[in-house]
Amino acid sequence: MDPIQFEIMSLLSVKPLLRFAATSKECQDYLSNEVFIRNQCQNSLTKEVESLIIQEWSWPFGVDTHVWVCFLPETLNICDIPMESKIWLEKNDRRLLASSNGLLVGTTYGADEESSKIFIGNPATKMWSTIDWPREVKVNKVTYNESDNSHVCLVCGYGFGMEINNHPIDYTLLLFTMHIDIDDSDIWNVGYNVHILTNGEFIMKHANLHIGHRRLIFDDLVACRDGLYVISDCGDYLSERSEFYFPYLFHYNVKNGTSAFIALPTGAIEYFNTHWPLKFFGWERNPGKSYFESICLASYHRGILTLWVLDVATEDMQGRNSWREQISIDVVQSLSIPSPHLWTNCLCLVDKTLVFRYGSYIHRYFLHGQHYGQLEVISTNVRSSSREVRFIPYSTTLRPCVTDVNE
């Protein structure tokens, strides 16, 4: 293979690669070359996120979800995924939970074990696999259709300090399931069992992980160099005398299994309420890495959206509570929302760009670079609906959908 052509081709997204493969035998050989696939996956991590997979769903079973792709670098569909994959994702109550380096993980909810599965796949290459639930989940007969029972974290190319396999099994997939103890009557003593995918099956890593007295918003989970960060909810259901009265950040060290509770900035929790929950995202990510070096908290009060940043990259985590206020945004003047009352928490942060839904449009607001402060519409193909939506950052790669070293 020509080394220059090899390098240029490895910088492309999957869709143009498939088009080249259809016209050239040499290009077709690239798609089956392990070194080329590994390079293409690694190069994807050096670029900005290509798109957002947006999922709108309703909770009743038997109602198909709605999935569409919103392109970020440019309004061209060079990063699109095949229609067959979109149709597959919309069927049978599938809920997307995580994405990393071209792979998607989610669950199919149903009334029993057979119809409830964990799936992992590559939408760009139309490859899908299923993973069995952990044995103790089956034994305890967890309610499979309860959405709050199971959550996942997927990080490609990183093991949080633990040994991982070679490509393409060089990823960490963690499953969090609610710990059930029928002999414990303390409703506040709720924890999670942590499972890690090993040789194609989930193995218990940590039993009954204590998460405090608040519910954790696993949809906003962020993977950093030193572990996982999850924000709590903002419900007004705890006594002011409780040590967990104020919302908090939960940190889990994946390698050694330790955890910690991190206080949020005073300015962010002073007016916390259930009407506008705090949002949480990754902030700084080094090129070529799938994890973040810093995290970002979004708080909202009286028409002002404020972003706070905390660096978490240092090994000893000194100054972990040193939040700094990054920017305050007037949602009426800067984001063109007619009234503060119309602002919702339907937003995400991608490569330091604020992406949010308003009505039937998806907007983005630049928080850095030459376009700083600019607002633009990036998608109009959105249904105006009151249904909840989730934003899943996604970039296409050739990464195989493999769960076991023996595959």
pLDDT for 258-282, tens place per residue?
Answer: 999 999 998 888 877 766 778 999 9
Residue 22 lies in a domain: no
Q: Quick check: 320 pLDDT over 50?
A: no
DSSP code per residue over 83-98: HHHHHHHHSTTEEEEE
CATH code for position 314? 2.120.10
E runs forming strands in 30-102: 51-56, 66-71, 94-100
Report pLDDT for 163: 86
Comparing 53-62, 152-161, 194-203, 226-235, the range with the smallest average pLDDT is: 53-62
Residue 3 lies in a domain: no
Report pLDDT for 397: 94
Which carries the bigger pLDDT value, residue 346 or residue 74?
346
Q: Quick check: 242 pLDDT over 80?
A: yes
* The total number of structural domains that make up the chain: 1
Tens of pLDDT along 345-402? 789 999 999 999 888 888 999 999 899 999 999 887 666 666 678 899 999 999 998 8
- Cβ atoms of 336 and 365 within 8 Å: the answer is no
Residue 19 lies in a domain: no
- Cβ atoms of 153 and 98 within 8 Å: the answer is yes
Residue 403 lies in a domain: no
CA pair distance 294, 217, nearest whole angstrom: 18
Residue 141 lies in a domain: yes
Compute how many other C-beta atoms are within 10 angstroms of the C-beta atom of residue 341.
8
Closest CA to 154 of 179, 120, 191: 120
Name every residue whose Cβ is closer than 8 Å to that of residue 309 and which is 6 or more positions away in sequence: 283, 284, 294, 295, 296, 297, 323, 324, 326
Taking residues 313-317, report their average pLDDT. Answer: 45
Report pLDDT for 122: 95
Residue 1 lies in a domain: no
Tens of pLDDT along 148-193? 568 999 999 999 989 888 888 899 999 998 887 655 555 556 789 9
Average pLDDT across the chain, whole number:
84
Report pLDDT for 402: 83
Share of the chain above pLDDT 70, in %: 82
Range of the domain at 257: 33-394
Report pLDDT for 319: 42
Q: How confident is the model at residue 317 (pLDDT cuts 50, 70, 90)?
A: very low
What 3-state class would DSSP assign to 66? strand
Residue 172 lies in a domain: yes
Task: Sort residue 141 into left (φ over 0), alpha (ψ -120 to 50) or beta.
Answer: left
Residue reference for tokens 């608040």: 214
Taking residues 96-124, report their average pLDDT. Answer: 84
Residue 384 lies in a domain: yes
